[in-house]
Structure 1
Amino acid sequence: MNAHRKYSVPNELSFELSDFLNNAWRQRYAILTLVLVFTGAVTAGALRLPKEYKATACLLIDPVLPRVLNENTAVEHIAEQARQEKAFYTTQQRIISSRSILQDTIARLDLQDHAKFKDMTSLPDDPTPKAIEGRLASMLDVALDSGSRIVNVTVQGHDPEVSAAIANTVGQAYIDYTLERGSRRREEPRNGSTNK
């Protein structure tokens, strides 16, 4: 039986490989020149790209949820509270990136007339408010820091100072919004009791 038949590599294949290696060695300077030119072109192209900066404002947000914990607290109550906290943080993330907060940020920083903002976002000289909101929303990323109560408001842009100003102003606009909302909530019961 031919069960132990040995196969050998044809000599043609080994000659082709050795010919290729010999040719590559003879053309090593041309190959090296091509590699250097290609690397230089890629590097030059990368250096011409505008730099991207990220500015992040961190907000510590405590949930305003009823907390009823005693010795008899059941597991389902804890699970329900965790679900409520998740819903609360999702809501806060949406509020931070809402039109109301964006419009407040645009007004506070006067972004419709801000030359650096227009340059870094390629907006026309007289942009519409909706165009400014859209551009600002595309620069903004709001994310919950996993395992914590910190929400990161990150703005990415070509100017580090403008990016930082926007991130901080979005954070401040959100803080002011929540303070105003809390103040209104506290005043409602008083107003309701005086009207009776």
Structure 2
Amino acid sequence: MLETPVNHPQRKEANFGFGSYLSTLKKYRLAIFLLTTLTAVVSYFLVQSTTPVYRATAVLLIEAQQQKAVSIEEVVGIDTSKKEYYLTQFEILKSNKIAQHVIDKLDLATLPEFNGQLEDTGLLATIKAWLKSSLSTQTTLSEIQATTMLTRQEKLKRKVLATFKDKLTIAPIRNTQLVKISFESEDPILAAHIANEVGNSYIQSNLEARLSITSQTSDWLRERLDELKQQLVESEARLSNFMQQEGLIDFSGINGLASVELTELTNQLSAARDRRIAAESLSYLLNKNKSADAASLSTVSEISNHPQLRDIRLAEIDAEKRVSELSKRYGPKHDKMIQAQAQLATIQRHAKKTPDPTGQRSG
């Protein structure tokens, strides 16, 4: 059985719509071509007339801890370990002081890229200022020109500074002590030079700030030292007056102190002479009794009272006492008895060979 074909009205409408578009393109193909060509030519000239802008980036390291002989942070109370320290340094890099320093050093105000065209310049600005001031006060033309010149310079300075800061970008690198200094300019060499100079100006400003703090600290310490010296002089004067009033020192001053030291030295010399005389006397007695035995010499008071002989005599007495005590408990052949008798014999032999105070040996 044959199937009856089914009509598709939507397909016919779709074919009809595409054909209408194609016929329209063919009809207006010349106008479309001219419009496309014109657009391409205009775009080409616009691109060619646009001045290219170059971006230069310098990377700066902000050190929190620096090698130094004196800790300035202890004086001024700056904690370089906190996050606020780095945020402060970033703001300093963006400050007008750094920007103006770079502008003045590189003389950027003379470049058209930065100064542009100021409004109300020349004779027109002078006439406007004169008309404005003539309504209120009597002002000469030279004063008006001088005022206008100052106004122009101030406007130029503000305009250059604003342009400079618009082209400058400060971007810290996260979780590091590094910061990117980027600058956009029509001249790639100038852009690189300005980016580097911003970093150099920041370093110079930081060094100048630290030097200023160090100088102020040194001045403060110097003033404090002078005050302490003055207080020391006054304290010494009060102490001297007090000691004189209480009779602790005489009025001879330094000479009196020298005389006290001389007296002490004299006393020491006198004592040394006494000891020398005693030693000479003892030496005379020993030389006079060379043929005498130890028992005879011990009867001489000057010899028997000598500390060395006295110690030996005491040691001999202790040894004899020990032998006497041990003999009551042990026999003569006991080890302790033999050791005690040997110790006594050694002391007795040493007593016979005891050197005299003059360096000779007796016995």
State TM-score, norm by structure 2: 0.41
Determine if contact 1:59/1:152 at 8 Å carries over to the other structure.
yes
C-alpha deviation, 1:174, in angstroms: 0.6
* Equivalent residue for 2:99, pick from 60, 84, 102: 102
Task: Give 1:162's aligned residue.
Answer: 190
Distance (Å, rounded) in 2 between the aligned partners of 1:147 and 1:34: 54
Matched, 1:177 2:178: no
Determine if contact 1:89/1:144 at 8 Å carries over to the other structure.
no
Task: Give 2:57's aligned residue.
Answer: 56
* Equivalent residue for 1:149, pick from 153, 170, 177: 177
Task: Give the residue type in structure 1 aligned to 2:169.
Answer: D
C-alpha deviation, 1:175, in angstroms: 0.7
C-alpha deviation, 1:12, in angstroms: 2.9
Task: Give 1:11's aligned residue.
Answer: 12
The percent identity for this pair of structures is: 24
- Report matched runs for 1:27-46 at 5 Å: 31-46=32-47
Task: Give 1:74's aligned residue.
Answer: none
Distance (Å, rounded) in 1 between the aligned partners of 2:14 and 2:21: 11
- Taking structure 1 as reference, are residues 63 and 123 closer, same or farther at Cα in structure 2, changes over 3 Å only? farther
List per-residue Cα deviations over 1:11-46 (Å, max 9, x = no partner): 334312222134435655654453333223212211
Higher relative contact order (CA 8 A, sep 6+): 1
State TM-score, norm by structure 1: 0.71
Determine if contact 1:142/1:152 at 8 Å carries over to the other structure.
yes
* Equivalent residue for 1:120, pick from 97, 113, 128: 113
Larger Rg: 2
What secondary structure sits across from 1:163 in the alignment?
A: helix
Distance (Å, rounded) in 2 between the aligned partners of 1:146 and 1:123: 40
Q: Which runs of 5 or more residues in structure 1 are unaligned?
A: 1-6, 66-80
Task: Give the residue type in structure 1 aligned to 2:40.
Answer: T
Determine if contact 1:55/1:163 at 8 Å carries over to the other structure.
yes
Distance (Å, rounded) in 1 between the aligned partners of 2:41 and 2:177: 46
* 36-45 or 22-31, which deviates more: 22-31
List per-residue Cα deviations over 1:91-117 (Å, max 9, x = no partner): 1121112111122112212233x3xx2
Q: Which runs of 5 or more residues in structure 2 are unaligned?
A: 1-7, 67-80, 122-151, 225-363
List per-residue Cα deviations over 1:49-77 (Å, max 9, x = no partner): 11111122221112349xxxxxxxxxxxx
Higher strand share: 1
What secondary structure sits across from 1:58 in the alignment?
A: strand
Task: Give 1:131's aligned residue.
Answer: 159
